[in-house]
Chain A
Amino acid sequence: MNPGGWIFMGASWLFILALVAFSLVRVLAAKEEGGEPPAPSAK
């Protein structure tokens, strides 16, 4: 793999991992603040 390949692979992975980490942190933070929504009974 040439340097360009490593750069593209690394940048793509970093971007996606950052996106996943951001989402996870915010979802968990929102869960702590508001808690999970109450689960009404299914029909």
Chain B
Amino acid sequence: MARERWGSRIGIIMAVAGSAIGLGNFLRFPVQAAQNGGGAFMIPYFVAILLLGLPLMWIEWTVGRFGGGFGHSTAPGMFHTLWNKNRFIKYFGVIGIFGPIVIYIYYVYIESWLLGYSWFALTGRYSACTTSEEMTAFLRGYQGAASNEHFSGLGTAYLFFLITFAANLIVLYGGIRRGIEVVCKYGLPVLFVLGVALMIRVFTLGTPDPAAPENNVVGGLGYLWNPKWSALLDAKVWLAAAGQVFFTLSVGIGVILTYASYLTKKDDVALSGLSAAATNELAEVIIGGSIVIPAAFAFFGAAATTAIAQGGAFNLGFVTMPLVLQKMAWGNLLGFAWFVLLFIAGITSSVSLAQPAIAFLEDEFNLSRKEATLIFGLNTFVLCHAAIFFLGNGVVDELDFWGGTFCLVLFATIETILFAWVFGMENAWTELHVGSDITIPRVYRFIIKYVTPAFLLLVLGFWLVQEGVPVILMKNVKPENVRYVLGTRIMLVALFANLAAMVWFAWRHRRAQEAIA
């Protein structure tokens, strides 16, 4: 079978940018910046982009294209080609399929809320909710956490989940060129248009309540950007910036490896990687930083905005923003634009999370696209129910910890060491520049070999002590939720073991075929 290819260069840049641009750009970044030094946060943030984000982008694009040349679209095969003398390295590559599946299990459900809320915004379903408490009750009713005047069960949420899940499968069934590339090429411009429209609306709010002149948009921008210099002396701020860069660029997951594997040997990766990162930053810092916090500040003031930011991303996206947008003229349409924007950000990310598993089935088991999509769809459909029915029991937090945090940092550390030290910096640098449209400054040879791995090990160590150990020991889990968290862990161990067994079987089968040939 001929290997699938991207239809155009813009297509893959859009696809990688689409994978990177997610809910975090619009909800996580502004909160992180506001809580970690305001404008001063941008110093560690840009340092992390230059020393961690860009090198990882280039590593993943290069390893992906390199592995694709050997017919591998996923990390087990790629790691094996980088270090073919080591029999076990391919099992470390399993993380690059396992992690995306784990994130997909809960991400696609949250994505379905966005579709649901787009519909509610357009039809005015939540327009009677005028306070934070009422909007929270609406969200809890939708999630099935409470039965109230808005919802009497999970039925509506489940319906939107089915639609969203089916939409993802349709895109995935279309393949790289006719599915993912088409959605990203058309979806991303729409996302940017909606983002800029919302940004302009927020910037023209002025002072919504003349009785409270201190609550205005410029004050909101100041809340986000005024530098607090003492924050730079706090290690936690540097760690938060590194974490934000990590999560926002979609590095360390395995999806960029898979996307880049569909490039040809002579396609550029250096400029494309830089372009995808730049597009993501445009969405995050300029658009993401100009909507949520300034709008919340203009309507609710500094004290309430602090409380809102501490309430977390879900609260900000599904409670605060609908309330804020409702207060404006054409509130329903603006709410619709907000949730459609987030839904596009969601679906371009979720299809990228599904692709490594589908590509693994296609490459290593010689399945057709249709068969691979069907197997992936059936398995993840079952697994998603853990996130749907046990959302309030700590299951999603647990999935997010292992799939969305632990695996990311670990996988990035492994692939960086493999690329710079095992494959060798000389080979790595040459491979990175094959077909390149730009020359990367030579200082990056040093950065990729020494600084990025050291930075990653530092992040991994700090993070394990600060967050990892308490989560692993379930210190913050309510006693009644312990069994759900344990059940989730058993499910994850079974999933990882199953994927590792599939890798073992695929290589055994390959060796047998090579022996016959």
Could you tell me the distance between the alpha carbons of A14 and B43 in the complex, rounded to whole angstroms? Answer: 14
B218 neighbours in A (Cβ, 8 Å): 1
B278 neighbours in A (Cβ, 8 Å): 16, 19-20, 22-23
| Nearest chain A CB to B106 CB, angstrom units | 30
| Nearest chain A CB to B45 CB, angstrom units | 8
The answer to the question of B2 belonging to the interface, with a C-beta cut-off of 8 Å to chain A, is: yes
Given A2-B222, A26-B438, A42-B178, residue A8 in contact with residue B9 (CB < 8 A)? no
Question: Which B residues contact A (CB, under 8 angstroms)?
Answer: 1-10, 13, 38-40, 42, 46, 175-178, 218-219, 221-222, 224-227, 264, 267-268, 271-272, 274-275, 277-279, 281-282, 285-286, 369, 437-438
B2 lies within 8 A of A8 (CB): no
Could you tell me the distance between the alpha carbons of A43 and B5 in the complex, rounded to whole angstroms? Answer: 9
A37 lies within 8 A of B274 (CB): no
Could you tell me the distance between the alpha carbons of A17 and B177 in the complex, rounded to whole angstroms? Answer: 29
Could you tell me the distance between the alpha carbons of A1 and B279 in the complex, rounded to whole angstroms? Answer: 27
Closest B residue to A2 by CB, please name it. Answer: B226
Given A36-B8, A36-B9, residue A26 in contact with residue B40 (CB < 8 A)? no
Could you tell me the distance between the alpha carbons of A40 and B9 in the complex, rounded to whole angstroms? Answer: 13
Closest B residue to A7 by CB, please name it. Answer: B39
| Nearest chain A CB to B179 CB, angstrom units | 10
| Nearest chain A CB to B410 CB, angstrom units | 29
Q: How many residues of A contact B (CB 8 A)?
A: 31
Could you tell me the distance between the alpha carbons of A43 and B437 in the complex, rounded to whole angstroms? Answer: 29
For window 1-43 of chain A, which residues contact chain B by CB distance below 8 Å?
1-2, 4-9, 11-13, 15-17, 19-20, 22-24, 26-27, 29-31, 36-37, 39-43
B9 neighbours in A (Cβ, 8 Å): 27, 30-31, 36-37
| Nearest chain B CB to A27 CB, angstrom units | 6
B7 neighbours in A (Cβ, 8 Å): 39
B277 neighbours in A (Cβ, 8 Å): 19
In the complex, besides A5-B225, A15-B46, 4 extra interface pairs with C-beta distance below 8 angstroms are A5-B39, A17-B286, A23-B279, A39-B7
B5 neighbours in A (Cβ, 8 Å): 37, 39-40, 42
Given A2-B226, A5-B39, A19-B281, residue A26 in contact with residue B271 (CB < 8 A)? yes
| Nearest chain B CB to A25 CB, angstrom units | 10
Given A39-B5, A39-B8, residue A20 in contact with residue B282 (CB < 8 A)? yes
A interface, over-half SS: helix
B40 neighbours in A (Cβ, 8 Å): 8
Provide 14 A-B residue pairs closer than 8 Å at the C-beta atoms, listed in order of the A residue. A1-B221, A4-B39, A6-B225, A9-B225, A12-B285, A13-B286, A26-B437, A27-B437, A29-B437, A30-B271, A31-B9, A36-B8, A37-B5, A42-B177
Identify which of A7, A9, A20 contacts B279 (C-beta below 8 A): A20
| Nearest chain B CB to A43 CB, angstrom units | 5
- Give the top 3 A-B pairs by smallest Cβ distance, nearest first: A8-B39, A1-B222, A23-B275
| Nearest chain B CB to A41 CB, angstrom units | 7
B178 neighbours in A (Cβ, 8 Å): 42
A29 neighbours in B (Cβ, 8 Å): 437
| Nearest chain A CB to B39 CB, angstrom units | 3
Closest A residue to B283 by CB, please name it. Answer: A16
A24 neighbours in B (Cβ, 8 Å): 275
Closest B residue to A8 by CB, please name it. Answer: B39
Given A12-B42, A31-B9, residue A23 in contact with residue B437 (CB < 8 A)? no
| Nearest chain A CB to B2 CB, angstrom units | 5
Identify which of A8, A17, A26, A39 contacts B227 (C-beta below 8 A): A8
Given A36-B8, A37-B264, residue A42 in contact with residue B274 (CB < 8 A)? no
Closest B residue to A23 by CB, please name it. Answer: B275
A9 neighbours in B (Cβ, 8 Å): 39, 221, 225
Given A12-B285, A27-B9, A42-B175, residue A19 in contact with residue B274 (CB < 8 A)? yes
A36 neighbours in B (Cβ, 8 Å): 8-9
